[in-house]
Structure 1
């Protein structure tokens, strides 16, 4: 999420996406996400009566007489007081949000109405498991219960896979497609959330002197404590040595850099002869082109927003934003002539949005036009 409340002014684009959510977005995930950020910055949420009055005043300022929202905002900065009022109304206004919380994307997809069926639905819990014997299991189709595989003790449960310790240490693979995500509890108790278009390789049980897994794509780890067996994540020329518990690794091959963001504990990131040790609230950035490795302050909520049901963009290049959209909605992105893929985009959206709604939010923030033909999205002005 943006550190907007610390600024003197808000940009037009920032106001646009906030107002869009205020008036059009159901659900509670974004509300909870914003609310936590406001509490950390000492923002007091007004009571419902004041929220209503603030909202009326905001609408009077931004909507010409007789027109309905959402309308383009004037080309001028907005003062913090008005912007904070918008945010406070969102954060405190549970009465604006009607979608029950806790539902997974695939559950919402099942409720789509006939009018929605031409739209592209969001991703959900989709993955395939490759066992050590080479057998592949589609986890969407597999029934809950034990998945047998020459000694692997793995169960499919409602919220993902759960491994039990065993004598079998054959390598398994969990692979998510575009439009997929999945959760797995490894045999040592470590929990991994795997993002779309990602692959995690790991032994069915950790019977050696260490615990080593390999990752392509993005995953969030909560590592079980075991001082006698260090935990390592191998990522295409980079190793994350876990000295603590909770961290996120973003290592898509098509991105410019690999980032490791630490929430709790400590990790050491090693890339060739370079290494750095992170403290909570820091991240390492490994540039793929130059091989440079640096440490920086991190916004941990942004780093793991994907796991909590939010797609968030903080001054990111358009091309990177559209790659996120492509991975989550399993669509192809095409750019019309004259589109600058390096322009920067700021905003946030729920991962439960259907594609048309997600693109509408981007149109409001980036002043671009998106057209959809089947599973192809064309970006134009």
Structure 2
């Protein structure tokens, strides 16, 4: 380990190079140097500002210099030793901390808003928000305004004609809703996607979706409405329900009103009645159905997030999609802790987390768009 007098010696040289702006690391400062320093750096702010401008610190090089610096005696100059002590503190801080990450104000974390990308069947894409737009296609008219996207078609596609599908993609920190050509209303949560036709054929109404999507289907006994998922499909006549497949090995269907039939990828099928929640685990091909408070699974459509005996990991995943933040856990144990609560979708996330911290022994540290979760020491 290097002696303090060696570190002091190096710090003195570094300070001379910074403040004098010359290569005088091996020279003893002259009276002229002292005068120049006194005139130019009369206060601490000037010294700090100059250090920031010219100090390009190479930690590896400095460490090598500390290791191989030859021991030698030098004449102690009081003025220089005091200054060297100051720069020593700066050097040590830079050596161990380097450049501290900028902490962006919490106000920069904003809730999501209405936004999506619409890709037409011909491959053209549109970035859509709430501004009024009208997009003409071969058989329909797509209208965009503050209420969302609506598809208008005056004809029904002949059975022999290939159905052309458009894609609505909602990113992290976004949401969107649309009305299909048959009047069916659809709400898409963050990180969700819906493929839909500009017009349905006479035999069936089929759409494809990913993520979390809520449907209010217009009843038509002669034309069943089919929602195709990656790992299954839902068939309905007229009803309200929600599908979710955020997790790669799990599909969830929550029925609010009416009746639906779920068909799993392995061919098994189950019919649901109102207030039932289905979970299909593709890992072991198991299907479970429970009676639930549907509001917990559908409140996001009504600008709320409801959590009931939910793991902290799942709660934070939901918030990360909506507020577009990255989540880091200090330990696996924290992920498995269960909580209940409700948050308005458009509220300040900091306020919610502060309430969440009360009495839980958990601390949420916010750094820009990153949230670190740790257990407070007891």
TM-score of the superposed pair, with normalisation by structure 1: 0.66
Q: Look at both structures and tell me which one has the larger radius of gyration over its CA atoms.
A: 2
- Find the aligned partners of 1:229 and 1:202 in 2 and give their Cα distance: 15
1:232-381 correspondence runs (5 A): 232-254=226-248, 257-271=250-264, 272-337=266-331, 339-364=333-358, 366-381=360-375
Give 2:218's aligned residue. Answer: 224
What residue number does 1:64 align with? Answer: none
Q: Match of 1:126?
A: 115
* 1:67-99 deviation per Cα after TM superposition (whole angstroms, max 9, x unaligned): xxxxxxxxxxxxxxxxxxxxxxxxxxxxxxxxx
Q: TM-score under structure 2 normalisation?
A: 0.66
Q: Secondary structure at the match of 1:132?
A: coil
Tell me the alpha carbon deviations over residues 296-333 of structure 1, each in whole angstroms, 9 at most, x when there is no partner: 10211212111111111111111111110111101111
Secondary structure at the aligned position of 1:273 is classed as: coil
Q: How does 1:160-179 map to 2 (within 5 A)?
A: 160-166=148-154, 169-179=163-173
Q: Residues 212 and 183 (structure 1 numbering): CA distance in 2 closer, same or farther, change over 3 Å?
A: same
Aligned residues: 265
Task: Give yes or no for contact 2:220–2:237 (8 Å, CA) kept in 1.
Answer: no
Report the 3-state secondary structure (helix = DSSP H, G, I; strand = E; otherwise coil) of the residue aligned with 1:270: strand
Does the C-alpha gap of structure 1 residues 278 and 365 become closer, same or farther in structure 2, counting only changes over 3 Å? farther
SS state of the match for residue 316, structure 1? strand
2: CA distance between counterparts of 1:117 and 1:359? 12
RMSD, aligned α-carbons: 2.0
Distance across 1 between alignment mates of 2:358 and 2:285: 36
Counterpart-to-counterpart distance in 2, 1:213 and 1:125: 21
Aligned to 1:93: none
Per-residue deviation, 1:364:
3.0
Q: 1:240 Cα deviation (Å)?
A: 0.5
C-alpha separation in 1, matches of 2:229 and 2:254: 14
| Alpha carbons of structure 1 residues 223 and 361: separation in structure 2 relative to 1, 3 Å | same
2:179 alignment partner in structure 1 = 185
Structure 1 unaligned regions, length at least 5: 1-114
Aligned mates of 1:269, 1:231 — CA distance in 2: 12
Match of 2:146 in 1: 158
Which secondary structure does the structure 2 equivalent of 1:304 belong to?
Answer: helix
